[in-house]
Amino acid sequence: MKSDSLNQYAVSPLLSLMIAGAMLMASSASAEAQTVSEPQPHQLTRAEVMHELEELEAAGYNPSMGDDGSYPADIQAAEAKVAAMHRAESAAAMSARQSGQMVGTH
C-alpha cells in the first residue's frame, strides 16, 4: 500500500511536467506558424529610394535645408502631394482601362 502512494507522488509531477512540455511545444509551434505565414516586408532598393527622393523634391521638399524648424511639416506636405499625385495617376489608369473595356464591348 505504501508503494502505491509513493508511486502516485512520483507519477503526478512527471505527468504534469509532460503535459506542460507538450503544451509549450504546441504553443511555440503555433507562434512559429503565425510568424512564418506573414509576408516579409519589401526591402527598398537604392533606385526606389532615389526615385522617392526625386518625387519629394519635385513636390517641394528640399533635403539640403536640414532641420530649419519646419522639418517634419515640409516633408509631410511633400509626401501628401506625392500621394495625391499617385492617387490621380492610379484613377486615370483605372479610368483608361474601364474606357478601353467599354469600347471593346460595343
Express each pLDDT in 24-60 by its tens digit.
676 665 555 555 567 788 899 999 999 999 999 999 9
Residue predicted with more confidence, 99 or 103: 99
- What is the model's pLDDT at position 60? 93
- What is the model's pLDDT at position 15? 64
Same domain? For 26 and 47 the reply is no
Same domain? For 70 and 27 the reply is no
Mean pLDDT of the chain: 79
Domain count, the chain: 2
Q: Which domain holds residue 87?
A: 43-106
Q: Which of the residue ranges 33-37, 63-67, 80-84, 93-97 would you say has the lowest mean pLDDT?
A: 33-37
Same domain? For 26 and 49 the reply is no
Is 25:42 a contact under the CB 8 Å cutoff? Answer: no
CA separation for the pair 28, 34 (Å, rounded): 10
DSSP state of 67: S
